[in-house]
Amino acid sequence: MSENWKDYAIEAGDFKMEVIEKNRILLPPSAIVFEVSGEINLYNSQAIKENLERLIEKGIVHIFLYLELVSYIDSSGLGAFLGIHSKLTKVNGFIRLVSPSEKVRYVLELTKLKSLLQIFPTLEAAAENF
């Protein structure tokens, strides 16, 4: 797939969602890794969802979100992740959250979504067994 992965980067204020291309070597063509930083809130969660839905339509069904640099996530961000999780489950894909920041981890635990969404400490751990 000769795709320009930079077309899937998002930048809005302090929020960034960038493709980590160097790690694509370790993964099959159906996978993509994003590094996300800043706040995931009402203003950018819809852009995240639409961006990931475009990728799913192109056959990218294994999505890794590196969340170590995320300073905040609200319910709309969680909703975007759950919506993508639901779509990917239907096509034998997945969304995996990698190295969530302490604040993101707290929200995932508080909302009990930690048991529903796949969370991994490292990209290497997230890339195993699929």
> What is residue 2's predicted lDDT score, i.e. its pLDDT?
45
**CA 56 to chain CA mean position, Å:** 12
**Which residues are bridge partners to 65 per DSSP?**
34, 97
Share the mean pLDDT of the chain: 90
Q: Which helix H or strand E contains 49, and what residues bound it?
A: helix 42-57
Tell me the residue length of the chain. 130
Residue 23 pLDDT greater than 70, yes or no:
no
Please answer whether residues 45 and 76 qualify as being in contact, where contact means their C-beta atoms are separated by less than 8 angstroms. Answer: yes
* Residue 25, pLDDT score: 57
Q: Is pLDDT at 45 greater than 90 in this prediction?
A: yes
Identify the residue with better confidence: 7 or 55.
Answer: 55
Q: Read off the pLDDT of residues 7-18 as tens digits, 9 standing for 90 and up.
A: 889 998 899 999
pLDDT of residue 116: 86
Q: Which of 128, 74, 62 is nearest to 104 (CA)?
A: 74
Residue 85: Cβ within 10 Å count: 19
In whole angstroms, give the CA distance from residue 60 to residue 101.
25
pTM: 0.91
User: What is the per-residue pLDDT for 4?
Assistant: 76
The candidate with the shortest Cα–Cα distance to 80, out of 61, 53, 55, is 53
Overall average pLDDT of the 1-5 stretch: 60
